[in-house]
Structure 1
């Protein structure tokens, strides 16, 4: 069914130009690795030292002698890779491309070590901005601060009495505003928290400035939307950022109609250098119209749109992840259902008949159970089991529900660096007993579930080698804790590479043409200065990308 859908998508998209140069190229003298065969545990790791690319696709792979002796090739170009290591292009199965690009244009609070440090960072950033503009930033994380408490509007008011400021938490599920911003949004002590959101208030009932999940929309609705020109600039910055890190494809987790149109414009102008598998955001007002129009697939597979992203809950760090039992460190709180179960049911019933894949964000064990229940319910009423539905994050899953991923044919879209970022607070939030089903990568792989790996950039840094390192070691880049954090869930390097390549391609229905260096597939690959398979695991995060090729063309060279 999925292959038929792909063919149908191609037929709908013939107006978009093919961007591949008709050339025959020999790449040789390399230390190459790729997974081959079917996705999942049956895939085999293969070594090679030469690749022949014809019209952007792999025509032959193996030793130079073997790939050249069987026929008389006429090479337009021969590229000597100087014994460097070659891997398939990395596919980040969960990122936010526009968010990454806009973040590169906004205040970056990721390294702020305290609330005061964050304010100072924003103040320095604002010195170069027009005084009338909103000040926008992202990346603060109170769990990295000595207080471990949410920030307040008062600290921002000291530097920004009149200019509105809005700073999104690192996970994108909470925001911090000053008084000027709250005033523009009309948020007062009398404002009631919306369903699926929380306006944090102090002992006097006054808003502190921190808004969680759906409450964020109350403020974000009054922020002027970035212009089309600014969005274009942001996307181009993001493309370059990703290519420099060896990422040739991204599953863009939640885009609106404007973003899709921008992607189509880039594709028509042959300016989409990274392959985009875009998930339509379920909150897009034009969702029914977009579904009815059918999937989008450019002939060169630079752009694919045939899935929908739904938010079931929030994030663990802001206590928005929906849990079956109360938070260990806040007994009265069970998290937030961003989309009510009845709404989730309506969305599944809307989306599946159009043949679109559903990708449901679920971090807490309650949200994961609700999503799984709804998949099971939908299969019985309208089918859709064959559409390779996904749960995005699958971060905290009750042990009883893990086997259901396999039973229901659900892909687990997981982000290795979330574990190493969350290790300083996850046990606080959950308590030790509930860690059994948390960040359980190896458990999912052992039962035969396809795991598609990503970073969730800009929540985490986009560098995929940080993810490979975290997956294999269960440690941060300071190699802490010793021995790894819940190390029994660590994966092998081969497994980790598979989740970022072949299995990620399977998760978008593109494993026949992407995800490995094999004949008939697009020639997407990267060149590294180090061999990950010859390194100590502690150094897996250190390789530098020397070149990134998409369809056999160098899109980035250092």
Structure 2
């Protein structure tokens, strides 16, 4: 039976004034968008009627940069995100340690010293909290972590260790502090992540159920290079995602980590049309602001030595080789780039080795720009994944690191849109909470909820443009504008229903708007009680 959604305001996202009163869905596809007059002219007894209860219906929200599997694993870890009391942090670690079996790793996520009055635990602190088990506490950015002495012992890393390419071990007076950065984290993460297809399937189910509650109907995710075998991850997705009775309808685009890209291409890994689509080859160009490892053209403003420019994961030559690897398979690249020097290096590489015709390279985060870089980006066939919530997480402390002049072009979303650059919204979860309305709030207000002022308000977006990041712009990024991103006849019936109309809400209250229904392929997958 066809479905009729009614009793709400339907925004098509053609423009902010384009509203309707109902939608007819047949077999997962939008058949018609109805005005109030249209509703009066149909026999509603011929439909399964779904009451929107006065809510606001939008095209289904899509996260263009997230780690879905990582979010599921995060949900099973010790969660430190948002903690502002160091004693609470310590207590969570101590309590988790009591539940571990012999040899089991203690993994915690979301540590943020900026919320803890600058307190940085080190290995001696972790040894006091948990000396019998290896421990890794990941910083919220996931580009730095703290490990204890047991973890160092397990991997046989001692004070005389040299820094790996693209990473570093922090030392004080020649002794390891327990802080590790970027590629130096990898051996610890590999041992701590003891996952198989069965456990990954459970993590994925949990993650998608979690995302549904924020109105998310699909995502562009990067999960394939972080577990022992990419096939375990891919098979978990094939088991969980789809339109069968025992599956969860959820639209997924899978970025392929460079470490498994060649293998996947050579083995002709398969996907699932309409549900699980392959995307570009992913790699990292630099670190993050939290650990002062984002690669900058000028040194960090708060570095007294004037010698810290951040961390280059690759030389220019090695980065070029990464691009050429994707091009050898007629593929596009997706590159993590936070600092302006990292951006410059990536642009140099893709200008030298352009994307194949019809494809577009994906610039992830692209946090620090300037007028020259903006103009270069605007002239290239690229798409950009941005994280509006980084504005509220990074300011004001990031200004101390980069100075006011460079901070002016941190997350310059309006400048990007004005230049015609395609940008999609994401949370980078589990880095940030995967709630698109928090992203909309941040993009519109350039400030955290409840706070006064704004960080470079000239880069603020309109409410329509902010919502577009998760709807029409996300569709542009996926190159599916013929079937997604709008509420339109013939398009996929993926909808997000909100409890309040964001276009009629005080902009300062956008963060409080909640999803009441999430609908994928015409099926209600989440309903807030």
The TM tier, using the shorter chain, reads: over 0.9
Distance across 2 between alignment mates of 1:295 and 1:447? 37
Instruction: Tell me, yes or no, if the aligned pair for 1:295 and 1:304 is still in contact at 8 Å.
Output: no
Cα separation, partners in 2 of 1:103 and 1:370, compared to 1, 3 Å: same
Instruction: Tell me, yes or no, if the aligned pair for 1:385 and 1:409 is still in contact at 8 Å.
Output: no
Could you tell me how far 1:196 is from its partner in structure 2?
0.7
**Equivalent residue, structure 2, for 1:15:** none
Distance across 1 between alignment mates of 2:370 and 2:514? 38
Instruction: Tell me, yes or no, if the aligned pair for 1:276 and 1:304 is still in contact at 8 Å.
Output: yes
Instruction: Say which is worse superposed, 118-127 or 408-417, in terms of deviation.
Output: 118-127
Match of residue 315, structure 2, among 337, 340, 347: 340
Match of residue 7, structure 2, among 18, 29, 42: 29
**Equivalent residue, structure 2, for 1:393:** 365
**Equivalent residue, structure 2, for 1:408:** 380
3-state DSSP class of the match of 1:35?
coil
Could you tell me how far 1:226 is from its partner in structure 2?
1.8
**Residue 290 in structure 1 maps to residue 259 in structure 2:** no
Distance across 1 between alignment mates of 2:223 and 2:86? 30
**Residue 207 in structure 1 maps to residue 176 in structure 2:** yes
Instruction: Tell me, yes or no, if the aligned pair for 2:280 and 2:362 is still in contact at 8 Å.
Output: no
3-state DSSP class of the match of 2:511?
coil
Could you tell me how far 1:491 is from its partner in structure 2?
0.3
Instruction: Tell me, yes or no, if the aligned pair for 1:254 and 1:309 is still in contact at 8 Å.
Output: no
Instruction: Tell me, yes or no, if the aligned pair for 1:294 and 1:306 is still in contact at 8 Å.
Output: no
Match of residue 463, structure 2, among 477, 480, 493: 493
**Equivalent residue, structure 2, for 1:185:** 155
3-state DSSP class of the match of 2:259?
coil
| Gaps in structure 1 of 5+ consecutive residues | 1-22, 37-42
Equivalent residues in 2 for 1:56-71, closer than 5 Å? 56-66=28-38, 69=41
**Residue 141 in structure 1 maps to residue 119 in structure 2:** no
Instruction: Tell me, yes or no, if the aligned pair for 2:443 and 2:460 is still in contact at 8 Å.
Output: yes
**Equivalent residue, structure 1, for 2:472:** 502
Cα separation, partners in 2 of 1:393 and 1:243, compared to 1, 3 Å: same
3-state DSSP class of the match of 1:210?
strand
Distance across 2 between alignment mates of 1:27 and 1:64? 12
Backbone CA RMSD of aligned residues: 2.0
Instruction: Tell me, yes or no, if the aligned pair for 2:22 and 2:35 is still in contact at 8 Å.
Output: yes
**Equivalent residue, structure 2, for 1:376:** 351
Could you tell me how far 1:310 is from its partner in structure 2?
1.4
Equivalent residues in 2 for 1:73-472, closer than 5 Å? 75-113=46-84, 115-146=86-117, 148=118, 150-203=120-173, 205-256=174-225, 257=230, 258-267=232-241, 270=244, 271-284=247-260, 287-292=261-266, 298-299=272-273, 301-330=274-303, 331-379=306-354, 383-384=355-356, 386-472=358-444
Distance across 2 between alignment mates of 1:140 and 1:368? 27
Deviations 1:243-299, CA, capped at 9 Å, x for gaps: 011000111034232322221233468313221111011122xx2132345685534
Could you tell me how far 1:516 is from its partner in structure 2?
1.5
Distance across 1 between alignment mates of 2:235 and 2:476? 25
- Given the two structures, how large is their TM-score scaled by the length of structure 1? 0.89
Deviations 1:426-445, CA, capped at 9 Å, x for gaps: 11110111123211111101
Distance across 2 between alignment mates of 1:333 and 1:80? 57
Distance across 1 between alignment mates of 2:329 and 2:484? 24
3-state DSSP class of the match of 2:277?
strand
Distance across 2 between alignment mates of 1:320 and 1:445? 28
**Equivalent residue, structure 2, for 1:484:** 454
Distance across 2 between alignment mates of 1:264 and 1:82? 34
Cα separation, partners in 2 of 1:295 and 1:406, compared to 1, 3 Å: farther
Moved runs in structure 1, 4+ residues, more than 4 A? 71-74, 292-297
Instruction: Tell me, yes or no, if the aligned pair for 1:503 and 1:511 is still in contact at 8 Å.
Output: no
| Gaps in structure 2 of 5+ consecutive residues | none
Could you tell me how far 1:385 is from its partner in structure 2?
5.2
- Given the two structures, how large is their TM-score scaled by the length of structure 2? 0.93
Match of residue 529, structure 1, among 487, 491, 499: 499
Could you tell me how far 1:346 is from its partner in structure 2?
1.8
**Residue 520 in structure 1 maps to residue 490 in structure 2:** yes
Could you tell me how far 1:546 is from its partner in structure 2?
1.3
Cα separation, partners in 2 of 1:168 and 1:45, compared to 1, 3 Å: farther
3-state DSSP class of the match of 1:110?
coil
Distance across 2 between alignment mates of 1:168 and 1:74? 55
Distance across 1 between alignment mates of 2:342 and 2:223? 18
Instruction: Tell me, yes or no, if the aligned pair for 2:408 and 2:456 is still in contact at 8 Å.
Output: no
Residues paired across the two proteins, number: 519
Could you tell me how far 1:339 is from its partner in structure 2?
3.4
